[in-house]
Structure 1
């Protein structure tokens, strides 16, 4: 005899369904709208039944020169992620192993401070240094998000690694740097992968810094989407196609690496 569902189980199933629908509905509508003409997008009768067209993607990939913007986004996200890992991993190790809690508090504050509050002073400083519009200023500004994220994740990961392994290495004659390089760093590979993946995703999706600090030749994909927003009208079909081009690569990456991200985040949840 089939067991009756409790009110809690029903509530949980309904809540889960609402969350899934609320998350997927905008994405489904975006992808569907990218295959519609502007006339069909405004026609509510063709919300689900319509004749697909590819001219929006042709407009994005051919006319709007989006391959250049894709390359810009890849380069900025990759450079910001690599530099953040190079600086953030040793910093997180030092804060974790040498009890540098004040420095950790500064990193936490850097994550809390709204980035928009720094845009005006950044623009003033970088414009005087003649850096506005170049890739270097974009990489540095994206590191404001990536570097604290890397330090925050890796501190939790290092806290979860057994300290006895490093103490044994020190007894065998290794220095703290040697123990870090030979023992701790290889064991922290899942955490580094997690921090790198999340850092890349945040940098890829960053819009605000690139909007203010990029130039015509260094625009990233999120900024290039604004080309479809005009003063008098909006090209909704092109806008949805461009948004799909920005979103789908990150969604594919997230689907393939989600188990590594989860394992890396939970590895430092308990102290070993």
Structure 2
């Protein structure tokens, strides 16, 4: 009994420490975005300060962040949709025809550091006069999204019973018809999981957009650098911009958490 009580106390303390370590930077970010730049540098105003929305006004009005929000939404949405269109059939083929070597090649594309590809990408896309446009950003983000979707959906398709597809073939459907009418509806939770994770990764991507975007196609993670100057940093504006980037993804993750977990666990076992 004493050992069980000690374990519960230890678990509660450990969870509290982990939660505090994760939430403290976020709390400081939100608090700093509501302070004046003078209060940010004043240790005495760490908890007691007069909140102001001035930095958010500067971010949304003067820094054109509404345009950057639209750019991030468009790039993340387009990259996710195109990756689903290409990745779901590819994952189904690899799962049903045991194309493990092809799957390994896709995994290698996911493992390769993206920074090692930026120089050749920039050279190729600059010669094609695509640098600075949305097309190159969407293609570069698909380099991250497509392998992720393929691997999530392969595990999901592996967990679907083959008997359902065989029943469709007996009823006269072709293999494509079985995929469209039987497999795709059953794989909706896995597709939702893959799409959500792909969107989040694309929204947060900084490195590709930093090199390949232009002034009019800049995404939110890159736009944050507008508050970092050569001699000084606008910490209030920087924290407000970071909050604008972070809160939408945190809300999405909070509301779709159960769908992500159910989608991942659905493909974790054989049917």
Matches of 1:116 and 1:14, distance apart in 2: 39
Q: Deviations over 1:72-101 (max 9, x none)?
A: 000000000000000000000000011000
Matches of 1:107 and 1:271, distance apart in 2: 22
Q: Deviations over 1:89-118 (max 9, x none)?
A: 000000001100001111111111111111
What's the CA shift for 1:14? 2.0
Report 1:53-202 matches (<5 A): 53-202=52-201
The corresponding residue for 1:262 is: 261
Matches of 1:32 and 1:197, distance apart in 2: 28
Matches of 2:91 and 2:17, distance apart in 1: 38
Matches of 2:34 and 2:132, distance apart in 1: 33
Q: Does 1:39 align with 2:38?
A: yes
What's the CA shift for 1:18? 1.5
The corresponding residue for 1:28 is: 27
Q: Give SS of 1:131's match.
A: coil
Matches of 1:234 and 1:145, distance apart in 2: 31
Q: Considering only aligned residues, what root-mean-square deviation do their CA atoms show, in Å?
A: 1.1
Count of aligned pairs between the two proteins:
271
Matches of 1:14 and 1:121, distance apart in 2: 49
**Structure 1 ranges of 4+ moved more than 6 A:** none
Q: Give SS of 1:190's match.
A: helix
Matches of 1:7 and 1:162, distance apart in 2: 45
Taking structure 1 as the reference length, the TM-score comes to 0.97
Gaps of 5+ in 2: none
Q: Give SS of 1:80's match.
A: helix
